[in-house]
Amino acid sequence: MPQSLDNLLVIGISSRALFDLETEEAIFRQHGLEEYRGHQLRNENEILKPGAGFALVKALLKLNRLTGQRFVEVVVMSRNSSETSMRIFNSIKHYGLDITRAVLSGGSSLAPYLHAFNVSLFLSLHEDDVQAAVNSGVAAALLYQKPENALEELEQIRIAFDGDAVIFSDESEKIYQTEGIEAFEKHERENALLPLPQGPFARLLLALSYIQNNFKNPDGHAAPIRTALVTARSSPAHERVIRTLRAWNVAIDETFFMGGIVKSDVLAAFKPHMFFDDHPDHCDRAAGKVQTGRVPWKQSGEFE
């Protein structure tokens, strides 16, 4: 009987985000496909080092083992051909990652295959692939290179989110961008009782909340997931956020209403496996301290 991915949190990740392939990327860009192909074939038994998304993937896959139930599926999505992919699979085996599915598109766009694999979140270091995923309606993030402490082992799976244009829609963010802070605060006061529409990462947050609520530990310990909302909002715009999360029946473990203060120090204290934000400035500052993924805004065009 065919297996279904419908009820799983499916993470699609590029091979370059899962493993450190920066040397190989440079070979491809400077010397072309044939040189890259030869390099990969000659080194297919050389194990790749962990990449920017490795720690998050390893942590999420750990949930399946801890719960005794399959909540998370990871699909490697690469523009490699099958011929040059053996090094990737050998590295997956070496690190004991429970990854059995892959898309090897042979240079073609990965976006058409995201819905086919029911991908909930796509992670990559290639901006074009990330933007195409966002335009096709899939939550996606462009990963920054990992900071030195990114692979630190933590007891909990920790994920931090920005609010507007990430967990929530960009409706209010657009008002702030086009009309300024006063118009934004007025809008949020007037709509404080109206839940914010879901943003691209709401599905991920809801899935994590479901796992937390349904985690059964025989030792009585809490679920091994901890979430944080780190938003530039402050009073009076805080009320709508709190009421929205109540309406979604989601309890964020830690919430920080920053009011425009730089987020990087709070993030360094929280130590997330990944922080998702849509603002390049916030991401640039955070990326030196915690693993960071930038969430592009959806563009109008062929995917509309």
How many Å apart are CA 302 and CA 280, to the nearest integer?
25
Above 70 in pLDDT, residue 292?
A: yes
- pLDDT at position 251 is 87
3-state secondary structure of 124: strand
Token pair 């496909």: residue: 33
Q: In 73-224, which ranges are continuous DSSP H helix?
A: 86-94, 127-135, 171-179, 181-190, 202-214
Q: What is the pTM assigned to this prediction?
A: 0.89
62-71, 124-133, 145-154, 194-203: the lowest-pLDDT one: 145-154
301 within domain boundaries: no
Check: CB of residue 63 under 8 Å from CB of residue 71.
Answer: yes
Instruction: Identify whether residues 99 and 53 lie together within a single domain.
Output: yes
Nearest in space to 56 (alpha carbons), one of 155, 130, 124, 151: 151
pLDDT tens track for 253-280:
999 999 888 999 999 999 999 999 999 9
Instruction: Identify whether residues 163 and 280 lie together within a single domain.
Output: yes
Of the two residues 152 and 253, the one the predictor is more confident about is: 253
- pLDDT at position 64 is 86
Domain boundary among 82, 115, 142: 142
Q: What is the residue-averaged pLDDT of the chain?
A: 88
Instruction: Identify whether residues 210 and 279 lie together within a single domain.
Output: yes
Instruction: Identify whether residues 104 and 22 lie together within a single domain.
Output: yes
pLDDT tens track for 91-136:
999 999 999 999 998 888 899 999 999 999 999 999 999 999 999 9
Q: Enter the DSSP assignment of 237.
A: T
Above 70 in pLDDT, residue 151?
A: no
- pLDDT at position 113 is 94
- pLDDT at position 96 is 95
Instruction: Identify whether residues 69 and 109 lie together within a single domain.
Output: yes
Structure tokens at 240: 């709508």
- pLDDT at position 216 is 63
- pLDDT at position 1 is 42
Residues, the chain: 304
Sign of CA dihedral 152, 158, 161, 166: positive
- Residue 255 belongs to domain spanning: 157-294
Instruction: Identify whether residues 289 and 183 lie together within a single domain.
Output: yes
Residue 97 maps to which CATH number? 3.40.50.1000
Of the two residues 131 and 7, the one the predictor is more confident about is: 131
Domain boundary among 108, 142, 176: 142
Domain boundary among 142, 168, 184: 142
Q: What is the DSSP string of 129-143?
A: HHHHHHHTT-EEEEE
Work out how many domains the chain is built from and give that number.
Answer: 2
* Reduced DSSP (H G I as helix, E B as strand, rest coil) percent helix, strand, coil of the chain, to 5: 40, 20, 45
Stretch 181-207: mean pLDDT: 90
150 within domain boundaries: no
What residues are annotated to the active site? Answer: 162
Instruction: Identify whether residues 114 and 236 lie together within a single domain.
Output: no
What single-letter amino acid sits at 32?
G
Q: Enter the DSSP assignment of 113.
A: G
Structure tokens at 176: 């702030």
> Sheet containing 225-231: which strands, arranged edge to edge?
101-104, 72-78, 9-14, 121-124, 139-143, 292-294, 274-277, 157-161, 225-231, 254-257
Structure tokens at 14: 């590029």
Number of helices and strands in the chain (H, E): 12, 10
303 confidence band (pLDDT: 50, 70, 90): very low
